[in-house]
Amino acid sequence: MTRDDALLSVRDLALDYGNGRGVRDVSFRLWPGEVLGIVGESGSGKTTLLKLLGGQLAPDAGTIHYRMAGGDMVDLNDLSEARRRHLGRTELAFVHQNPRDGLRLAVTAGGNVGERLMADGARHYGRIRAAALDWLERVEIEAGRVDDRPTTFSGGMQQRLQIARNLVSGPRLVLMDEPTGGLDVSVQARLLDLLRGLVADLGLTVVIVTHDLGVARLLAHRLMVMQGGRVIESGLTDQVLDDPREPYTQLLVSSVLAA
């Protein structure tokens, strides 16, 4: 694979919230099928970076180039609102830490999964419903719950529903913000298993933000370590976790409690 095949190419990205916080000088490339983990402490700019990638925030400086399904390279920040929104519900997906931010709580599970399809022009009820049922099965939610509202779901089920809702449109780039945060360990393990299977089966390209190094080791091929808005270290996951170079990364790795 040549260097020009990158799906995502980020250069000198910067955003200052006005108080010196935000992200600075972030550059990286992401190739199709790769899972990139972003780790770091709270306030290090992980989520800000993810929101910049997802187009929810506009950067002060820098560019984010994305290769469209047709092969064209576009700067996400130069796109018109209409194209950005279209991209956001077809090729991109954003999995929020709190499933309540990513779901419509007043709408049934089936409606939640079908929304992206309908927003993209699907007008055949039977086919939308079949897709919804298929995706519920893939994320291990019983078909009988398809007409229940997410408010009646457990936290783990809500998170799996949010994943189904995002993946139904066949996105090429999935951005995940702490997808396992706030779940107990057994539910976390099951979700990680599911995610690992989906990523492998669908060949997804994923950027996953987490402060849990265990999650990072299980899912990510490459890691970026952030501190104070900067990327201080990056490399293959095993390399970064087993042989950390920066003092902060060494501290981070050694802070993990062994069970």
Partner 1 sequence: MSGTEGYNFAYLDEQTKRMIRRAILKAVAVPGYQVPFASREMPLPYGWGTGGIQVTASVLGADDTLKVIDQGADDTTNAVSIRRFFARTAGVATTTRTAEATVIQTRHRVPETPLTGDQILVYQVPIPEPLRWLEPREAETRALHALGDYGVMQVELYEDIAIHGKIKRSYDYPVEVADRYMMSPSPIPKFDNPKLSDCPALQLFGAGREKRIYAIPPHTPVRSLDFEDHPFDIDHPGTPCALCGDTESFLDEIVTDDKGGRMFVCSDTDHCAERQAEAGHDA
Rounded distance between C-alpha atoms, residue 208 and residue 104, angstroms: 22
From the list 18, 71, 126, 247, which residue makes contact with partner 1 (rule: CB under 8 A)? 126
**CB-nearer residue toward partner 1: 111 or 179:** 111
Q: Which amino acid is at 17?
A: Y
Enumerate residues 136-165 that contact partner 1 by CB under 8 A.
146-147
Q: How far is the CB of 209 from partner 1 (least distance, A)?
A: 26
Query: Does position 88 bind partner 1 by CB under 8 A?
Result: no
Q: Which stretch binds partner 1 (CB under 8 A): 48-56, 65-73, 123-131, 218-226?
A: 123-131
Q: Which stretch binds partner 1 (CB under 8 A): 2-10, 13-21, 116-124, 156-164?
A: 116-124
In 3D space, the residue among 118, 107, 160 whose CA is nearest the CA of residue 137 turns out to be 160
Rounded distance between C-alpha atoms, residue 124 and residue 128, angstroms: 6
The structure tokens listed for 164 are 């189904």
The structure tokens listed for 124 are 């055949």
Q: How far is the CB of 111 from partner 1 (least distance, A)?
A: 5
DSSP class of 2: -
Q: How far is the CB of 89 from partner 1 (least distance, A)?
A: 8
Cα-based distances in Å from 225 to 19, 110, 181, 213, 240: 22, 38, 18, 11, 9
Rounded distance between C-alpha atoms, residue 76 and residue 53, angstroms: 8
Query: Does position 119 bind partner 1 by CB under 8 A?
Result: yes
Query: Does position 171 bind partner 1 by CB under 8 A?
Result: no
From the list 85, 101, 152, 246, which residue makes contact with partner 1 (rule: CB under 8 A)? 85
Q: How far is the CB of 196 from partner 1 (least distance, A)?
A: 30
Name the burial class of residue 115, with classes exposed (0-12), middle (13-18) and buried (19+) by CB atoms within 10 angstroms of its CB. Answer: buried
From residue 54 to residue 83, what is the string marking binding to partner 1 with x (rule CB under 8 A)? ---------------------------xx-
Q: Which stretch binds partner 1 (CB under 8 A): 44-52, 90-98, 100-108, 134-142?
A: 100-108
Q: How far is the CB of 93 from partner 1 (least distance, A)?
A: 15
Rounded distance between C-alpha atoms, residue 57 and residue 50, angstroms: 9
**CB-nearer residue toward partner 1: 92 or 208:** 92
Name the burial class of residue 89, with classes exposed (0-12), middle (13-18) and buried (19+) by CB atoms within 10 angstroms of its CB. Answer: middle
DSSP letter string, 89-133: HHTEEEE-SSHHHHS-TTS-HHHHHHHHHHHTT---HHHHHHHHH
By CB under 8 A, the count of residues binding partner 1 is 23
Which residues of the chain form contacts with partner 1 (CB under 8 A)? 81-82, 85, 89, 104, 107-108, 110-111, 114-116, 118-120, 123-126, 128-129, 146-147
